[in-house]
Structure formats: structure tokens, C-alpha cells
Structure 1
Amino acid sequence: MASTNSFLMLLHTLTVLILLFQSPTTSSLAMLLSIKHRTIYDYEAVPYRVGLRLMIFPRNFPHQKVHKWSVTVNGNEIDQQFENAYGEYEAIWLAYQPEMPIEIVAEGSVKVEDNSGVLQNLRIKTPNGIFLRQTELTNPNDDIRALAREVPAEGTLDMAHKLSKLISERVLYLAGKTNTATTAAEALQDGAGVCQDHAHLMISVARELNVPARYVVGYLYDPEQEDEYGDSHAWAELYIDTLGWVAFDPSNQVCPTDCYVRLTSGLDAKDAAPMRGLVVGTKAEAMDVKVTVDCITQ
């Protein structure tokens, strides 16, 4: 088994090196994906004021090209307004006693090429060292430190592959076991979780090993779920000295391919949330999210 894993890691490294010397336009593995991300907020009473921070504008970089994209709030189009320190595009929406419910729709099409998870020329203003900072959701405990010691590796890339596999074995994918407030340590203790928990745990261990790591939110095309409603997806990116930032998805045991659309990133799920809000005048909130991702061309 160990020799098989070593072979697969070597194969990934060779694939990455080949792709790095290719022109971004020469890749034969590409998909044009159609995405619709619909979120509805409703309240028991009309709020006096609502402010939304929207980070639902996918970026262009060599292996991800946005063909068209629109964001609307209650039918009114919202344009991206500024670029934050992580290089993500944002917009702010503010309303007094808005029409209820509040419906946010982000939709469009994005072409993605398979680059074995390597993010080439993704401009970012934030120093890599910022992504060594642990957060409330990623803070390591003794169990996480023990897990970090279980990942002997020949280089950072080898470590990342072994860690991704180890996490998928220790934390089984099981919806409903955790929630948005679950920490990496709690997910490891429970032995079950979802993509958010896998990403948090990988980030926590990587930072414990002094490897910068960040949380990524995006969309995943799954042919078996075409035309079905789902949710956004989450994975981790680690900084590999020889390659730069490389993405890893422990939930699916892959480095993201042309089935993945990158949306936002941050220190953890809270920091990378595509939408955040401030409500004045009411408390009870109901939220409904529906995401569809379909393949237009392959």
C-alpha cells in the first residue's frame, strides 16, 4: 500500500511539472460549467436595516475564466465593488426595511481547466505568513498535534497528500453530524463531518507543521447530481515551496480538477464565507440555500 501511495504522489508531481510548463490555453482537460447559487433570508419581522457583505464573484486566473456572471439581490443587479486583501471581489448591499424575503442569486458560466490543483498566477496581496495563523475553528489540541506527528513526509507536497488521505480515514464524511460552529478538534474527536470539517482539520495540521494553509469555498460539479440542488463545497490550499499554492480536497481525495470552481478564500470557513450580514431590528432568521452546477461543454 505504501509503495502504491508513493507512486501516486510521484505521478501527481510529474503531472504538475508538465502542466507548469504548458501554456494555460493548451490544456485538453477543461469544462464550461453553468452555476446558479440562490440564497433566501427570511425574518419573523421586517428588519429595520440589513447590510450584506457579498463575496460571490469568482475570479479570473490562468486556469479559471469567468464567461459571464451576475449577482442580484431581490432582482436588482449588484456589481463587484472592490478587491479585498485576499484578492477576492466583494460588494456591500444595504437596505432599510427591505422587501421580504431577501433573495440573493449568483449565476453564470465559468470555464475551468485541470491543473492538478496548482494555482498559477493567482494574484494576492496578503503575505503567505498570515495563513500560519490559527483561528477559533482551527486551533490545535493534543489530538491534532498527535495527528501532525503521524505524517512523516519527504517534502511538503508528500506531506499534504498523506495528510489528505489520513483525514479522510479519521473523519468519515457524514452530513448532519457537525455544524458551522464545529471546530477541527471537535470533528477529529467525533470521527465524522463534512467538507468544512475536513478542510479545517487539514488547515490546522498544516499550520501546526509550519505550512501556510487557507480555507476555500467554491462549487463542485458532480455528474451524478446534475440538475439536483446542492450546496457550495469547501477544500484547503497549502503553500508548497516548489509549486506555490496547491489545492487539496480531503473529502473526495483529489487535488481539485476542472470540476471545481474557486470562489473565495480565508483563514477559515467564517473568514471565507461567501455571504455575511448584519441585521438590526429583528433576530429570528431562516436561511435556504440551493446550488446547481451543470456542465455545458466538456
Structure 2
Amino acid sequence: MRCEIRHATEYHYPTPAWDSFNQVRLHPSQEERQTVRSFHLSVTPDAEVSSHRDYFGAIVHHVHVHDPHTHLKIEAQAIVDTHARPDPEPVQVMALAAERGRHTEFLVPCPRVPAGPWPEVFHVARPDLSDDLPGYLVALNTQLYRRFTYDTKATSVSTPLAEFAKDGRGVCQDFTHAMLGVTRQLGIPARYVSGYLYSGGEMLGAEATHAWVECLVPGYGWLGLDPTNNCVAGEKHVKIGHGREYSDVSPVRGTYYGGGRGKMDVAVHVYSEQ
């Protein structure tokens, strides 16, 4: 599937701001399941732009606007071809024992996914060592999808996982942190994925950047699971990057001097050619 993506972030300030510095993670990743055909980042007003790859391999752009300004627009455009992957073959949960030491960063607690009895909190049955791992993960994905309610007004980017667990209402970021909490407590290496979703009107979370989970399956690699939509991440999912939690892959964040209390608007459009 070919996807054309346009992502615009705009800031409006009541008084001039200056020395605005932003970290921008909007460049889709190049990997087995997707090919980046083009990417272009435009900034208004003129800005100093540089880039590097972060610890997890994502391309990060640094946008620095020196001069006073009351409006800042950062727009990314990309064309990406996504490719279907075969389903993983059955593999027992016990096969993870040999893999955990190489992926401890996706097992240990982090600020947005702290340690806790998350399987018990979300009433999730722990798997037996002989259980089929991919089958268990797909069933877990469905269980969490059914337990939570998608509600764009219920949470913010700073809502703790414990609060979401209590109310059960939130967005893709919350669904993803919840699944990370469960899988990591079960000893399954899992990482937070930021990206885009081609919806066509039938999937949740396409109005902005989307989030889902990748879990390690020995002999297969990282299996993408989308608990917001109760599906395996497929050709409609375009990955930007991954990390331990949202903070590692937040799309745009930064600082500035002056400006007063600014207003931010975000518009995401994903078009597709089958």
C-alpha cells in the first residue's frame, strides 16, 4: 500500500517569541515492513534545521528559529510504501528466556509505564510457559480493546497509567501504555510505537499521530499489535519510530523565549493508493 502523509504543526503566540527550538520526530522509519520513497520538512519562518539518529534509530530533526516570530509552522510530507508481513509461526512463551537479556530496556519500568501488578489490575490471565506466544498476544490485544473505551476528552499526554486504569477511558497512547505495562510484567519485551494510521473512516486514532505496541516474538522479530483497533499492525500502519514510552517518540516538542501562552494546532492527513 502506498501512503501519502501530510502532518502540520502550527504555533501561534500573542507576543513575539524567539530562539524557538524544537525536536521533531516525523520521519517514517525505513525497515522490512515499509519503504520511505520521499520525505520533506518545511518550516515557516526560515529556520536552522539539522538532524541525527536517536538511541533507538529514529531520525530526529532539530528546528531552531532565532528571530522574533508570532507564528511557527512545521510541516512534514512523506510518501511511504507499506508491505504485508506473514503471520508468525507458533512459538512457546518459554522461548523468551533466551531473549530477555538482549532487550532489558523494553522490560524495565519507565516514568509513563511504572512497575505494578498490571496483569491483575487489568484482569489478564498470565500465560503458561508452554502457551503459544503470538496467540496469547493477539488474545491480550482483544481483551484490552474490549476493556477500554476510546475517548479523546478523557485523558491528556500527562495522565498517569494508574488513572487510566481506574477510569478505562482514553486514547491510543493510553491503550498502548496499558499493554506495555501488562506485557513487561509478564516478561515479554515490548516497545511503544509512534506512527500514522490510514483509516478510511473505520479505525480509531487516525486524526493525529497513532500509537501501538511491538512485542518480541522469538524467530520472527517484533510483532505490531494495535489495542485501540483490535488488530495486528499491518499495511495501514506507518511507523515513525519506537521507544520505551510516549516521551521517547513524541512528534514535536520544544522550548522558546517570550511569546506568552501559545496555542498549538495539529493537522494530520493520510491518503492511500492500494
The TM-score range, normalised by the shorter chain, is 0.7 to 0.9
How many Å separate the matches in 1 of 2:30 and 2:87?
A: 15
How many Å separate the matches in 1 of 2:13 and 2:269?
A: 25
What residue number does 2:238 align with?
Answer: 261
What residue number does 2:105 align with?
Answer: 130
Q: What's the CA shift string for 1:130-167, capped at 9, x where partnerless?
A: 11122222124445544375243514323321221111
Residue identity opposite 1:88 in structure 2 = A
- Structure 2 residues not aligned, in runs of 5+: 89-101
What TM-score results when the alignment is normalised by the length of structure 1? 0.79
Task: Say which structure is richer in strand.
Answer: 2
How many Å separate the matches in 2 of 1:116 and 1:249?
A: 17
Q: 1:210 aligns with which of 187, 191, 201?
A: 187
How many Å separate the matches in 2 of 1:80 and 1:263?
A: 18
How many Å separate the matches in 1 of 2:159 and 2:153?
A: 11
How many Å separate the matches in 2 of 1:188 and 1:209?
A: 17
Change (3 A) 1:237 1:283: farther
Residue identity opposite 2:4 in structure 1 = S
Q: 2:56 aligns with which of 83, 86, 89?
A: 86
- Please state how far the C-alpha of 1:95 moved relative to its aligned partner: 2.1
Q: Secondary structure at the match of 1:101?
A: strand
What residue number does 1:43 align with?
Answer: 13
How many Å separate the matches in 2 of 1:148 and 1:211?
A: 17
Q: What's the CA shift string for 1:160-206, capped at 9, x where partnerless?
A: 21221111121122221111111222212102111111100001111
What residue number does 1:55 align with?
Answer: 25
Residue identity opposite 2:233 in structure 1 = P
How many Å separate the matches in 2 of 1:284 and 1:34?
A: 33
1:139-218 alignment to 2 at 5 Å?
139-142=114-117, 144-147=119-122, 149-152=124-127, 154-218=131-195
How many Å separate the matches in 2 of 1:76 and 1:282?
A: 17
Contact in 1 for aligned 2:46/2:65 (Cα 8 Å): no
What residue number does 2:77 align with?
Answer: 107
How many Å separate the matches in 1 of 2:256 and 2:182?
A: 35
Contact in 1 for aligned 2:29/2:240 (Cα 8 Å): yes
1:222-241 alignment to 2 at 5 Å?
222-224=199-201, 230-241=207-218
Q: How many residues align?
A: 257
- Please state how far the C-alpha of 1:74 moved relative to its aligned partner: 0.8
Residue identity opposite 2:30 in structure 1 = N
Q: Secondary structure at the match of 1:46?
A: strand
How many Å separate the matches in 1 of 2:260 and 2:193?
A: 29
Match status 1:32 vs 2:9: no
Match status 1:252 vs 2:232: no
- Please state how far the C-alpha of 1:32 moved relative to its aligned partner: 0.7
How many Å separate the matches in 1 of 2:9 and 2:216?
A: 32
Contact in 1 for aligned 2:17/2:70 (Cα 8 Å): no
- Please state how far the C-alpha of 1:107 moved relative to its aligned partner: 0.6
How many Å separate the matches in 1 of 2:202 and 2:230?
A: 18
Residue identity opposite 2:26 in structure 1 = I
- Please state how far the C-alpha of 1:212 moved relative to its aligned partner: 1.4
Change (3 A) 1:286 1:35: same
Contact in 2 for aligned 1:40/1:289 (Cα 8 Å): yes
- Please state how far the C-alpha of 1:249 moved relative to its aligned partner: 0.1
Residue identity opposite 2:19 in structure 1 = R
Contact in 2 for aligned 1:55/1:90 (Cα 8 Å): yes
Is 244-253 or 44-53 further displaced after alignment?
A: 44-53
Contact in 2 for aligned 1:40/1:103 (Cα 8 Å): yes
